Structure 1
Amino acid sequence: MGSGSRESCDIRYFSPLSIFNSVKGSLISTLALTYAGLNIATMVMLTKPKDVIKALTGSWIYLNVTTYYDNGTIANRDEPGLGRTPAGLLTYTSEGFMSANFMSSRPEDRPGQLDTTELEGAEEEWALIGKHTLAYAGPYYVSVTTSEVETGQITHGPAQVAWLPSWVGKEIRKNYTLLDERATLRLVARTNDDVLVAEMYFRKLLGLTEN
């Protein structure tokens, strides 16, 4: 990732339509438009959360991430535990559950001789693997809908299982965009330390029946 700047993205307040957020079904909001001094009420149909879940259902392989400050300046900072080029897989089910699994791709972060059969190996080696892994799973829901299935916000959690005890029960809001005819997923969220914004890209994996 090089230095530079990009358009700033406020992920705290997704859009003016977020106040109409619901996970219970189709929503309709009224937007007041002013034309020639007259107020005209226009009805806007928001996407049904179930349609968003259908579009997201499947497994997504991690491609890359760019982190930047709120002013749009790109940050040349690796994720402390996972490094610059981690491997990751994100899965959403049609029943509303998700899992996220990431690991460092650096050989020095993952001693290869360890095995769960006997749980042998130094405690430091097991701790090293845990330090350079991120994994959690639980329900997810559509927290903001817009007029398009391809754009909105989802919330992971509350996490039911996690590689860190402090992540159990945690919720993470992510703005999403589906690109390339819904084959690419972009997720935007604040980093764990709340200092940067992370823009992550994933590619949808095709199942055996889709090849």
Structure 2
Amino acid sequence: MVLPKEIASFISGAWLLLNNTPTDLNGTPLTGPANLPVGLHPVGMLTYHPTGYMSANIASTDADHRPLSVSYPFKANDSDADWAQVGKHTLAYAGQVSASEDSTTSSGTLTHGPLVVASIPSWVGTKQERNYTVYPKGVKGNENDVLHVWIRSEASGQVGNLFWERMP
């Protein structure tokens, strides 16, 4: 798979996370903590480069996921437990991006990977398939293009839904 020029030119740029709404397979929102590893109100940025590379960063803003005691550069009194809490509620990865043959500028399947960087070590070298739909500016009252990226897992009985707004 490759990233066709028309899709690359359309998705290229930076996208800010609007919301993370996991659902069951029937569309009912899942709100328990186990279903929201990046918290209730995460922040994130998804970046696509026209040459076929991408990066994704998502982090929780929930106070109990972000201990105030951690600092950078690291200090001797920073606890490993506090840093583990931050890492547990953060997701970051980067690598190549390609699109399935039936993908268009409005919908299809993107493959992120093989990943060369990932905050989850087992993801390095893997490919992460993501379905997508693009809602152009104004279609749903949105001021900018909105990118809905989702993954459906029959095994877990869940759909991970992420909505991203194109940065102007």
Question: TM-score normalized by structure 1?
Answer: 0.68
Partner of 2:94: 137
Q: In the aligned structure 2, how far is the partner of 1:62 from the partner of 1:189?
A: 16
Q: 2:9 aligns with which of 44, 49, 54?
A: 54
Shift of 1:69: 2.7
1:119 and 1:194, CA in 2 relative to 1: closer, same or farther beyond 3 A?
Answer: farther
**In 2: Cα distance, 1:60 partner to 1:171 partner:** 21
Aligned to 1:201: 163
| Aligned twin of 1:116 | 72
Contact 2:22–2:29 (CA under 8 A) maintained in structure 1: yes
Trace 1:84-163 onto structure 2 (pairs within 5 A): 84-120=40-76, 121-146=78-103, 148-163=104-119
The aligned residue for residue 23 of structure 1 is 2
Secondary structure in 1 matching 2:69: coil
Q: Report the alpha carbon displacement of residue 99 of structure 1 after superposing the two structures with TM.
A: 0.6
Cα distance change, pair 143–114 in 1 and its aligned pair in 2 (3 A): same
Cα offset, 1:119, TM superposition: 3.8
Residue ranges of structure 2 left out of the alignment (5+ in a row): 138-143
Query: Contact between 2:97 and 2:112, CA under 8 Å: does it hold in 1?
Result: yes
Q: Which runs of 5+ in 1 are unaligned?
A: 1-21, 25-48, 207-211
Larger Rg: 1
Question: Contact 2:131 / 2:150 at 8 angstroms: preserved in 1?
Answer: yes
Q: CA contact under 8 A between 2:24 and 2:30: conserved in structure 1?
A: no
Partner secondary structure for residue 72 of structure 2: coil
Q: Which residue of 2 aligns with 1:189?
A: 151
Deviation at 1:85, TM superposition (A): 1.6
What's 2:132 paired with?
A: 176
| Separation in 2, partners of 1:73, 1:118 | 42
Cα deviation for residue 199 of structure 1 reads 2.3
Q: Secondary structure at the match of 1:129?
A: helix
Instruction: Go from structure 1 to structure 2 and tell me whether the alpha carbon gap of 1:86 and 1:110 turns closer, same or farther (over 3 Å shift).
Output: same
* Structure 2 equivalent of residue 68 of structure 1: 23
Runs of 4+, deviation exceeding 6 Å? none
Judge conservation of contact 2:46–2:54 (CA < 8 Å) in 1: yes
Is the Cα–Cα contact under 8 Å of residues 40 and 62 in structure 2 kept in the other structure? no
RMSD, aligned α-carbons: 2.2
| Alpha carbons 1:82, 1:133 under 8 Å: kept | yes
